[in-house]
Structure 1
Amino acid sequence: MKKLLCVFLTFMLLAGFIQGYALEQPRIEIQINGEAMEFDVNPILENHRVLVPARGIFERLGAEVAWSEETSTVWVKDKYTAIEIPAGKDEAYIHKNFDFTGIPEKIKLDVPAKMIKGRTLVPVRFIAEALGAKVTWDQKNHRVMIVLEVEQMPMGKTIAYKQIMFEDIKENHQLKEWFESNYHVKGVHYARLGKNMYVLISGGERSTGGYRVEVDKVVMETPDRAYVSAYVAAPEKGSMVTQVITYPYVLIQIENENIKHVQGALENKQSGKIRKE
């Protein structure tokens, strides 16, 4: 009798826990451009992050969704971006089709993707923003509002820029100070000073003169992020160059007030061939 009573009490405790968990999960509404979405598996709130079924919502955003059974990974792809999310892991990878390095950007997730009733639930804000959408959370009404503006797409379009000469910045003390702190450090540097976004691409220390840095293209990666592709051109064989250490660079100003972040790749170009730095 006591054994049966223990089993009954254990069952009731488990039932209460499950019911309590269900009650703690509010009904979460997902809107895309003001229109509510319907799902066969409800979105959930975990660790202050909303997870949604991947296929229904991201296909609505114009992306393709695929599931790899072999690697337990969900892929969300549009024309310019591929997002790789392994189920059960707190990490994701963003592949940019116009990123010539071929190295994906690794992102740490607050909550991992998970399987529920045969559906893969993924963090909605991370993926929607990676695809160029704006995401707002309405805490009072438990509502996620996703806005995908037509003029934001497609990502990957060319952004206008102009080259800035050193003579042009001599009177701009803030810009001149930033430039002098970075021009000798190899890489892509950026700074927003006032309304202007400046990007300095430095080729680093070179043993002679004759080197130059050229910008290949500047493209929009997300609505507020630009990607700069540039290369260092070596002097032609047999050309006369100064035998002193030089620091080739190019300074540009991006003509888009929405850009707040810049990434880039710097390559070497010699004898008509380009190789990665």
Structure 2
Amino acid sequence: MRRILPIIGCLLAFFLAMLTASASAAPKVFIDSKQLAFDVPPLIEQGRTLIPLRGVFEAFGAQVRWDGATRTVTATKGQTTVKLTVGARTAYVNGSAVTLDVPAKIVNGRTLVPLRFVSESLGCRVAWDAKTQTVTIASAPKTETPHPGKELAGKKVLLVIAPKDFRDEEFFTPKQIFAEKGTQVTVASTARGTATGMLGGKAKVDLVFAEVRASSYDAVVIAGGTGSETYLWGNQQLRRIVQEAYAQGKVVAAICLSPVVLARAGCLKGREATVFPDPAAVKELKSAGAKYVNRSVVTAGKVVTGRDPEAAGEFAQVVARLLSGR
């Protein structure tokens, strides 16, 4: 026993050292294949990667201003202006509120913000490799339209949310993207008033389902969240809206747990589709005849499904491309 104890102690010390080294390793960040160097390294907090805001925005040529009195950062690039306050979970992109998973914080004099917020505010795409602790950011492609951000002028989108516990990113991110492209967005739910997201975001509801006619819109987009199963999966009025839109050749899209609504409406039979990897949700898709695939975004004709909050930006961009006819 006396011989074994020292061996056990050495093994424990070895594993502890390995864990400490792993935890202290800062994620690497690449923009368009070029690695960024930061004076304050990125870190992972509550499962989210935080990076120095100034370093990323300046890498894209944005101007950054710091207000020490209010602890507020303002970054501007082209037609995009981003404002966020240290410690606050709400940031603003062109005046529209966006809920952050993790608030901005100051580390060694630098403001660190959630990577996904920074990238999506600039219309970029992000990939995370957990094995190598590497973040890859692909900058937004240049648009060919003579009026950037307004190529969907005249298009109308019905954005559906649960009255409670919708997933904030899956509502606010698409809403922002659609609005910036000139789309008229109408928010619908089971009741009028203010809907509340899982992360505390608030959204004004314009119409209840009974007032909606699919023929008035070019697309029906359904946000997810845990409230989807409670309020949306079995809602007959919403199912009617989706079925009408599908029959009329409109774009129908759903993300997170909400592809189940499309499945129950008969829109996914024989089609590839994704959904949040919850066993009950996956079973719903398969039972409805869908070909379930575990991908971030899946397009099948004019039907779009997204997997989770991380896919919200890509999901909205795919819907936008379908609306533009590209």
Code of the residue aligned with 1:135 in structure 2: it is: V
Matched residue SS, 2:39: coil
Q: Deviations over 1:5-37 (max 9, x none)?
A: xxxxxxxxxxxxxxx877623221000011111
Match of 1:53 in 2: 52
C-alpha separation in 1, matches of 2:136 and 2:61: 17
Is the contact between residue 64 and residue 76 of structure 2 (CA under 8 Å) also seen in structure 1?
yes
C-alpha separation in 1, matches of 2:96 and 2:133: 31
Match of 2:325 in 1: 256
Q: Structure 1 stretches (4+) deviating beyond 6 angstroms?
A: 161-164
Match of 2:25 in 1: 26
- Aligned: 1:66 with 2:135: no
Query: What is the aligned counterpart of 1:122 among 107, 113, 118?
Result: 113
Code of the residue aligned with 1:147 in structure 2: it is: A
Q: Deviations over 1:240-269 (max 9, x none)?
A: xxxxxxxxxxxxx94335xxxxxxxxxxxx
**TM-score normalised by length of structure 2:** 0.43
Code of the residue aligned with 2:148 in structure 1: it is: G
Consecutive unaligned residues in structure 2, runs of 5 or more: 1-18, 157-208, 222-244, 253-315
Code of the residue aligned with 2:26 in structure 1: it is: R
C-alpha separation in 2, matches of 1:129 and 1:197: 23
- 1:190 Cα deviation after fit: 3.5
User: CA 1:83 to 1:24, structure 2 compared with 1: closer, same or farther past 3 Å?
Assistant: same
Is the contact between residue 128 and residue 134 of structure 2 (CA under 8 Å) also seen in structure 1?
yes
Bigger RCO of structures 1 and 2 (CA < 8 A, at least 6 apart): 1
C-alpha separation in 1, matches of 2:32 and 2:152: 29
Consecutive unaligned residues in structure 1, runs of 5 or more: 1-19, 96-103, 165-178, 199-221, 227-252, 258-277
Matched residue SS, 1:70: coil
Is the contact between residue 53 and residue 118 of structure 2 (CA under 8 Å) also seen in structure 1?
no
- Matching of residues 35-184 of structure 1 within 5 Å: 35-95=34-94, 104-152=95-143, 156-159=148-151, 182-183=212-213
Number of residue pairs matched? 167
- 1:53 Cα deviation after fit: 0.9
Is the contact between residue 160 and residue 256 of structure 1 (CA under 8 Å) also seen in structure 2?
no
- Aligned: 1:191 with 2:211: no
User: CA 1:45 to 1:159, structure 2 compared with 1: closer, same or farther past 3 Å?
Assistant: same
| Higher fraction of strand | 1
Code of the residue aligned with 2:105 in structure 1: it is: K
Is the contact between residue 218 and residue 251 of structure 2 (CA under 8 Å) also seen in structure 1?
no
Code of the residue aligned with 1:116 in structure 2: it is: V
C-alpha separation in 1, matches of 2:87 and 2:144: 31
C-alpha separation in 2, matches of 1:75 and 1:22: 35
User: CA 1:117 to 1:160, structure 2 compared with 1: closer, same or farther past 3 Å?
Assistant: closer
- 1:152 Cα deviation after fit: 4.6
Q: Which has the larger radius of gyration?
A: 1
- 1:183 Cα deviation after fit: 4.4
C-alpha separation in 2, matches of 1:57 and 1:32: 9
Q: Deviations over 1:173-219 (max 9, x none)?
A: xxxxxx995249xx978426677549xxxxxxxxxxxxxxxxxxxxx
C-alpha separation in 2, matches of 1:93 and 1:83: 6
Matched residue SS, 1:151: coil
Is the contact between residue 132 and residue 152 of structure 1 (CA under 8 Å) also seen in structure 2?
no
Q: Deviations over 1:140-173 (max 9, x none)?
A: 1101100014335898333167889xxxxxxxxx
User: CA 1:81 to 1:160, structure 2 compared with 1: closer, same or farther past 3 Å?
Assistant: closer
Code of the residue aligned with 1:182 in structure 2: it is: V
- 1:65 Cα deviation after fit: 1.5
C-alpha separation in 2, matches of 1:161 and 1:71: 36
- 1:57 Cα deviation after fit: 1.2
**TM-score normalised by length of structure 1:** 0.50
